Amino acid sequence: MAKFTKTDETPAPRRPKISVLERRLQNPFGEPSAPVSFKEPGWTGRWFNAAKGADHIWRNLQKGWVKVRPDELSDIEQIGVYSTTPDGYVARGDRQQEMLMKMPTEWVEKIALAKVAKTNQMMRPGAQKQELMNAAAGALGDHNAELMGRAMVIGDVRTTREIVQRDEKAE
């Protein structure tokens, strides 16, 4: 009968140059979609999944996104497997539930800056307490709101910000 013995001659597997953790830390919310390039410059593309809600595509059309036709793409191969809807727009998925849509890049950037401004406005120290005090003053009067304010302990949100300037020439 043959006797099998375990040996330590097997080399340890080589670690990749960039670990899985390092890759995940670069994109902690998940890998972003590959960018889509269009024949006409100045557009940003994004996939929208109708499975998120019955009116998800409609709501995003109302927000300024526009459906994309295959002939608008600079290279159709860049999006991989796709199909077209009966009305000729680019879709993917088993039931064509994902729609490729586009918006002018300038709008996308302005909306992103507006989101940052709104977030920064909401992150002002004491802003929530001040809003509550203003509402109380309107409903209960200034004197009662002042009494409430003295008795109320609400922690302030503190944040640090780093401003990064974009160099338009480098792009």
User: Can you read off the two tokens belonging to residue 169?
Assistant: 């020439």
Q: How many CB atoms lie within 10 A of CB 147?
A: 13
Question: What is the span of the domain harbouring residue 119?
Answer: 109-151
Cα pseudo-dihedral 69, 53, 24, 92, rounded to 10: -30
Q: What percent of the chain has pLDDT over 90?
A: 42
Q: What is the pLDDT of residues 67-93, one digit of tens each?
A: 999 999 999 999 989 999 999 999 999
State the chain's mean pLDDT as an integer.
82
pLDDT digits (tens, 9 = 90+) for 156-167: 545 566 666 676
Task: Specify the number of domains making up the chain.
Answer: 2
Predicted confidence (pLDDT) at residue 151 exceeds the cutoff of 80: no
**Is the whole model's pTM more than 0.75, yes or no?**
no
User: What is the percentage of the chain residues whose pLDDT exceeds 70?
Assistant: 75
pLDDT value at position 84? Answer: 94
Looking at the structure, do residues 49 and 98 belong to the same domain, yes or no? yes
- 73 and 49 part of one domain: yes
Task: Name the band, by pLDDT with cuts 50, 70 and 90, for residue 62.
Answer: very high
Same domain for 88 and 142, yes or no, is no
Cβ 63 vs Cβ 114: under 8 Å: no
